[in-house]
Structure 1
Amino acid sequence: MPSATADDLLYAADPVLWAREVLGYHPDLWQADLLRSRSKKIILNCSRQSGKSTTCAALGLHESIYRHPSFGLVVAPSQDQSGELMMKFDEFRSAVELPSDYLSTDTKLAVRFSNGNRFIARPGSEKSARSFSAVTLLLEDEASRVLDDLYNSVRPMLAVSNGRHVLMSTPFGKRGHFFRLWNEQRDLWEWYEIPAEMCPRISPEFLAEEKRTNPWFEQEYHCVFMETNDSVFTFEQVAATVSNEVEPLLIEVPEW
């Protein structure tokens, strides 16, 4: 680590101050709350273009610099998507004055700092992600489209490190772990619901046009989990057929 200064102590304690003064990034109110949160489990249900990936890239860089040990891992449905968050991470890193020997590895998808901290982006493959351990910050981007197999395989990486898990996404139908967690287990997570109206960079005029022309408007901008196109029955209709009060029907099979 570079020699600590008075500013470094302030920046380590307050990632929002650091983001504003060092990165030139001025987070919205909910983004500031996210940067300051120390919750172990965070789920973000956000409008498109609300800035969720940008905020998590800033969070990952702050932890890489000011927390030790730190291992940030980004997973997403594809390498392009995880690489997009990594690109934001690198853009922010270029704004930070670091000693020339502060990085020991620097590629498009992996950064290793001289103090041993790492930040890595992986594609949406269960096989390519499950080899890591002791992850302290797991960032799952576009979580509504991440396969359940990948989600199930990366969760154990947090067991020993007692690491943090941040899921961020716009909805993609009533399916998968992102919908299940939001719909059934939200009370176990620190949760954020951010419709487009909470993003000052999205104009009312643009939203008005999208509302008229985009059939996915409620999903893309208002965080609504819509029925999937191939569903014969709605999620609520299927859920209504299940009851814990009915005893299972046991049929005795005769012995021959």
Structure 2
Amino acid sequence: MSAAADLARALDPVAVFRQGVLGPNGQPAEADEWQETVMRSGAPRQLILCNRQAGKSTTVGAKAVAGMLYDPGLYLIVAPTLRQSKLLFDKVAGVYKRLPDVSRIETSNKTELFLENGSQLVALPGDDDATIRGYSGPKAIYIDEASRVSDEVYAALRPMLATSGGQLIALTTPYGRRGWFYEAWEFQKDWTRTTITARDCPRITTEFLEEERTTMGEWRFRQEYLCEFVDTDEQFFSSDLIDAMVDNTLEAWA
């Protein structure tokens, strides 16, 4: 690769996507507009709310590879289970291995990828906050299926970024009106938000969505494809009913 081509890739993470991501036909894929925006964003705190199969994992995978190449350091992947973390890890590793003229891989296994330039990619389980402690100063933390990652695990991750200035990027479909992701999305400032529904995805047809709505039921369809925070079938009382029972004008007794 020429110096000019390498500089172009360093300046634009979308170039990594074009070189390392393949479409269903085996040809280089073109990113959607929202994917380009996410890959180019330097916002320190990002929430990505997407329907299933929109391409959020591929987007974050290319973004992570760009970071590992041109901003060497520690990159962490966390999901509700190690199996899920490894799925995103495989996306990142796959993009990296398809790129020409990159740093040599020194270590590669199912959960770790170490590069000659000093970058490290590590997949971690998110089912126990005690097992992920000990890492510090990551360049980025990627939380996959973030709406299903517990508040305790999320609380254990944030201090890792205390001195590094690294990014925290959470990607997910909704999972009810509960948990840290819902609270962050609805109420907290200092987050950059991206929403993509199935209706925004050119690869999903109207006919398929109508079939899914009929097959899976209304609330699941609205959650999985329209990215709505709806009550799950596990809740005995609806969130609207619970909210109606609370009077926020009353003062709490000491």
Higher gyration radius (CA): 1
Code of the residue aligned with 2:177 in structure 1: it is K
1:83 counterpart = 2:86: yes
- Which of residues 227, 238, 241 in structure 1 aligns to 2:231? 227
Quote the residue 1:136 is aligned against.
139
Quote the residue 1:209 is aligned against.
211
Quote the residue 1:33 is aligned against.
37
Aligned length: 245
1:194 counterpart = 2:226: no
Quote the residue 2:164 is aligned against.
161
1: CA distance, partners of 2:233 / 2:245: 21
Aligned CA distance change for structure 1 residues 94 and 234 (closer, same or farther; 3 Å): same
Q: Secondary structure at the match of 2:171?
A: strand
Report deviation, 1:202: 1.2
Flag structure 1 segments of 5+ consecutive residues without an equivalent.
251-256
Deviations 1:175-231 (A, max 9, x none): 11111111211x421101110011111111110101112121000000011113233
2: CA distance, partners of 1:127 / 1:241: 36
Code of the residue aligned with 1:103 in structure 2: it is I
Quote the residue 1:66 is aligned against.
70
Aligned-residue Cα RMSD (Å) equals 1.8
Deviations 1:15-44 (A, max 9, x none): 113321454332111000000000000001
Aligned CA distance change for structure 1 residues 248 and 123 (closer, same or farther; 3 Å): closer
Report deviation, 1:241: 3.9
Q: TM-score, normalised by structure 1?
A: 0.89
Quote the residue 2:25 is aligned against.
none
- Which of residues 4, 7, 23 in structure 1 aligns to 2:5? 7
Flag structure 2 segments of 5+ consecutive residues without an equivalent.
22-27
Q: Is the 8 A contact 2:16 2:65 kept in 1?
A: no
Q: TM-score, normalised by structure 2?
A: 0.90
Code of the residue aligned with 1:206 in structure 2: it is F
1: CA distance, partners of 2:74 / 2:46: 17
Report deviation, 1:88: 1.0
